[in-house]
Structure 1
Amino acid sequence: MKILCIADHVDPIVYSNAIKERFKCVSLVLSAGDLPMDYLGFVVSSLNKPLYFVFGNHNLKYLGVFNKRFDKGLLTNSLRNTTFGSIYVGFNMKYDKKNDLIIMGLGGCKKYNKAENQHTELQMYLSMIRMIPRLVFNKIFRGRYLDILLTHAAPRGIHDKEDPCHVGFKSFLWFMRKFKPKYLLHGHIHLYNKNEKKITDYHNTRVINVYDHYVLDFNREDSFGQ
């Protein structure tokens, strides 16, 4: 199964009349944040495949549509009913029955100012703790906790940076050790140098920076780790 992953940049390779032909092999799309919602809508309408996404720390105009905690009463009724054909998995979990895929999302980045969708280490850790009952349900009835952890920020020490805006979450490391997702897919870290590392194996999880776009060839039988 092939999955188109996008993040952080409106890629002309994706945002093109050739998208149907270029990505006709993909079964679904994952967005790791910081993308305009109309871009996600274009991808969904062009490929006619399910698209699961999290918000990052930019392009948050529609955050209140999908996360009522950020709805400050400024949204019109028409906006509240707008989904752009996309499925929000921020701090939530979805089971894609057709592709037998369990996807969990954790959006936003490490808190560095007072803007929206930024989280302290403790806040992110508590958000993951709240997901444990559903993770256990998956393990009992589907044989695994989850397949893909979709985040915006990177794990601490893996692909992240030292500046306050781009430092990763230590709690992601704990989560990967404990719940063993096959993949952790993140954005947030822009790759301007093709030689920068974008794939790292951590225990049983392959961590991939999907900045711009990345086509993931998902195979549940693959084994990673150290």
Structure 2
Amino acid sequence: MKILIITDCHHLLPEEAEKLADLEYDVCFFLGDISGKYIDMLLMYLDKDKVYGILGNHDEFGVLEARNIPNIHCKLIEINGTSFLGFEGSNRYKRGEFPMFTQKEARKLLMKCPKADILLSHDSPYKLYSDGKDLAHCGLKAISKYIKKYKPIFNIHGHQHINSKKTLKNETNVICVYRASIIDTETKDITFIF
């Protein structure tokens, strides 16, 4: 299966969005931190019936639903025999009405969710990319716990503003996408788009 992931497009040029026009993919997921203006631009080049999403820590609630994009936060969906679970937001590091959780809140929510083949999240597993001192980018303990308990094949996330692929001890492939890439779940190849 080919999964188009788009995330953290804090700035987007029309010529970047145009690169999506002729891509072949089975499903597209927005993993957050994409403003409504940029979502509208992206949708001009995507098959809207294949688009799902979750919110990032900079997103306004309702931005997906206003565009008829299913928000799969804490929801399990199945596409071509593969199950996906979404988890939005990040560790709470500031005040405000944005999708952010304390570590405890995230654990309560995510550990009630069912097992999925692929966990899609805005934030990363806890301390995967840092020592945890940067509260905005330390990751969520709940994601680490979910991976340990359910051993999904993939955890695909954004938020860290890097492109990275790591295989954990339990063989879960953790892929961080910055902006837009296609992930082939069979070959585990990643194709950078912009």
TM, length-normalised to structure 2: 0.83
Q: Is the 8 A contact 1:2 1:217 kept in 2?
A: yes
Structure 1: state its 5+ residue gaps.
67-81, 136-144, 192-196
Match of 1:87 in 2: 70
What SS class does the counterpart of residue 19 from structure 1 fall into?
A: coil
Distance (whole Å) between structure 2 residues aligned to residue 110 and residue 208 of structure 1: 18
Deviations 1:171-218 (A, max 9, x none): 211111111111111111113xxxxx6111111310011111111001
Structure 1 or 2: more helix by fraction: 1
Match of 1:125 in 2: 107
Match of 2:152 in 1: 181
What SS class does the counterpart of residue 105 from structure 2 fall into?
A: helix
Larger Rg: 1
Deviations 1:73-108 (A, max 9, x none): xxxxxxxxx542421111222223xx2221111111
Q: Is the 8 A contact 1:157 1:168 kept in 2?
A: yes
The answer to whether residue 164 in structure 2 is matched with residue 198 in structure 1 is yes
Find the partner of 2:93 among 105, 108, 112: 112
CA RMSD of aligned residues (A): 2.3
Stretches (4+) displaced over 3 A:
10-14, 37-45
Distance (whole Å) between structure 2 residues aligned to residue 64 and residue 85 of structure 1: 10
Q: Is the 8 A contact 1:148 1:184 kept in 2?
A: yes
The answer to whether residue 180 in structure 2 is matched with residue 210 in structure 1 is no
What SS class does the counterpart of residue 15 from structure 1 fall into?
A: helix
CA distance 1:19–1:180, change in 2 (3 Å): same
The equivalences for 1:17-166 within 5 A come to 18-21=19-22, 23=23, 25-48=24-47, 49-60=49-60, 63-64=61-62, 83-96=66-79, 99-115=80-96, 116-131=98-113, 135=114, 145-160=115-130, 162-166=133-137
Count residues with an aligned counterpart. 182
Alpha-carbon distance, 1:11 to partner:
4.7
Distance (whole Å) between structure 2 residues aligned to residue 64 and residue 32 of structure 1: 14
TM, length-normalised to structure 1: 0.72
Structure 2: state its 5+ residue gaps.
189-194
